[in-house]
Structure 1
Amino acid sequence: MILELIVPGRGSFVSSVSPSYKGHRYPVEIISHCVWLYFRFPLSFRGVEELMLERGVIVSHETIRRWCLKFGQSYANALRRRRARLGDKWHLDEVFLTINGEQKYLWRAVDQDGNVLDVLVQNRRNKAAARRFFRKLLKKTRAVPRVVVTDKLRSYGAAHREVMPLVEHRSHKGLNNRAENSHQPTRQRERAMKGFRSVGGAQRFLAAFSGISPHFRPRRHLMTAAGHRAEMTVRFVIWEQITGAATMPAAA
């Protein structure tokens, strides 16, 4: 379904394609609300199930899990398409994850405004891993940054010289707080989920999570209470539009 929608405060028409809910007996409002709860708050599928039960909606945690797998990435991609133009200063960082007792690495890139550009879970943090992440970033964003900021891991410098040698590279621990701070929501979820079970599962969850969670986390410390409420109202409208809930007829 092709929709022509106006986003309040954005001032222009935006075309989007709503997901297909064909074959689902639950309405889109319930599906999108469950997905929102799971990716926005540190809740388990059973926790979401209990919250929905309190509201009189009987839905199993397994159904909620399938909804998150099916629609989470779709919603995240739609939100990314709706956000403002990305910045030209990229901050990259990697942090370790323990998956089934083995140490893996989560690579993350954000722009100067804190927008998550991409994430990638890998086994190593060597030159090959850095090169793979650089190439994935360029393909995903379809853009070339003006500046890349990293910590002093030498793998970044080696990969940078191969993949984007004409881009300025700043390597300094103190300059990369933006990327390091962006790991905090992931750490919170990792604790709530008691760790990830597999590399693939971690990649799937974090790819959707990094697209949905930041949408509902504006830079609150820079806003007044009234400004924050107004911004959140706009963001909830956008969520209804990209999930298709805004186009559903109201119940009688």
Structure 2
Amino acid sequence: MLATKGMRFPIDVILVCIRWYAAYPLSYRHLEEMMQERGVFVDHSSINRWAIRFLPLLEKVFRKHKRPVGGSWRMDETYIKVKGVWKYLYRAVDKEGKTVDFLLTAQRDKAAAVRFFDKAMKASGVPEKVTLDKSSANKAAMDEINARGEMPIIVRQIKYLNNIVEQDHRAIKRVTKPMLNFKSFRAAKNVLAGIELMHMIRKGQLLLEGGIKLSFADQFYVLSGQIRPV
């Protein structure tokens, strides 16, 4: 259950606003107008604060119920603009297209790639294979990780095999495009957690008893504690 003590608006209003924002290509001002049409007068800045505060909490809950991913990963990074400056969103999917993990970083280098892989492996275990593009930094990161372990991970640098993750980036970029420009790294990181969350729910990655009978929206509300699984 999300802690909303002191909030002027009920939890169901907050949840519908942040769900729509993270799931669809909408701006905060779009949502302000849409809520007004429904008789709810909420300022776009309030929706912004709700998204930054609550979306990463819901993504954290989701991780406890995330379906296991396969052992063959496709990893790549894409660009996200923060305060007018490009930052880097590292992402990986398995060969079925299920999201393995993601990480927003300020730099695009070996250290950032190592951080991403460490985060992904802590959550999803060590993969059998990792497919990369021709990035020397990403390959150097995997070489460092392999040097630590007893069982080496097979590393492939084959561009066409990475098409699946490059295509998957599009779902994230489609939602971020109307957001224009994140005002801070923290805001970008937190909102992206929500966007990735909605994308994973759509891909059927929420493992919850009775969850398959729930709609996309209701699976999100289950995470918030507002409804129970069927």
TM-score range with shorter-chain normalisation? Answer: 0.7 to 0.9
Q: In the aligned structure 2, how far is the partner of 1:102 from the partner of 1:232?
A: 42
Q: Across the two proteins, how many residue pairs are aligned to each other?
A: 219
User: 1:185-204 to 2 correspondence within 5 Å?
Assistant: 185-204=171-190
Give the root-mean-square deviation of aligned CA atoms. 2.5
Q: In the aligned structure 1, how far is the partner of 2:49 from the partner of 2:81?
A: 24
| 2:162 alignment partner, one of 162, 173, 176 | 176
What one-letter code is carried by the residue in structure 2 that aligns with 1:118?
D
User: 1:1-252 to 2 correspondence within 5 Å?
Assistant: 18-139=1-122, 141-165=123-147, 166-216=152-202, 233-246=214-227
Per-residue deviation, 1:178: 1.6
Deviates more, 1:208-217 or 1:30-39: 208-217
Q: Deviations 1:199-242 (Å, cap 9, x if unpaired)?
A: 333222212211123313569xxxxxxxxxx9684433322221
Q: Deviations 1:77-131 (Å, cap 9, x if unpaired)?
A: 2233223222222211012334344333221122223232322233333222222
Q: In the aligned structure 2, how far is the partner of 1:50 from the partner of 1:96?
A: 29
CA contact (8 A) 1:28 1:243 kept: no
CA contact (8 A) 1:151 1:172 kept: yes
Secondary structure of residue in 2 paired with 1:246 = coil
Q: In the aligned structure 1, how far is the partner of 2:38 from the partner of 2:52?
A: 23
TM-score using structure 1 length = 0.77
What one-letter code is carried by the residue in structure 2 that aligns with 1:48?
L
Distance 1:181 1:241, change over 3 A: same
Q: In the aligned structure 2, how far is the partner of 1:70 from the partner of 1:200?
A: 10
Per-residue deviation, 1:43: 1.1
Q: In the aligned structure 2, how far is the partner of 1:232 from the partner of 1:69?
A: 29
Distance 1:231 1:25, change over 3 A: same
CA contact (8 A) 1:79 1:212 kept: no
Secondary structure of residue in 1 paired with 2:39 = coil
Q: Deviations 1:167-221 (Å, cap 9, x if unpaired)?
A: 11111100011211121123223321123333333222212211123313569xx
CA contact (8 A) 1:118 1:207 kept: no
What one-letter code is carried by the residue in structure 2 that aligns with 1:54?
E
Secondary structure of residue in 2 paired with 1:245 = coil
Per-residue deviation, 1:72: 0.8
Structure label with greater radius of gyration: 1
Per-residue deviation, 1:23: 2.6
Report percent identity of matched pairs.
33
Q: In the aligned structure 1, how far is the partner of 2:183 from the partner of 2:107?
A: 18
What one-letter code is carried by the residue in structure 2 that aligns with 1:152?
K
Q: In the aligned structure 1, how far is the partner of 2:224 from the partner of 2:132?
A: 35
Secondary structure of residue in 1 paired with 2:227 = helix
For structure 1, the residue ranges without an aligned partner over 5 or more in a row are 1-17, 220-229, 248-252
Q: In the aligned structure 2, how far is the partner of 1:101 from the partner of 1:30?
A: 31
Distance 1:109 1:53, change over 3 A: same
Distance 1:57 1:100, change over 3 A: closer
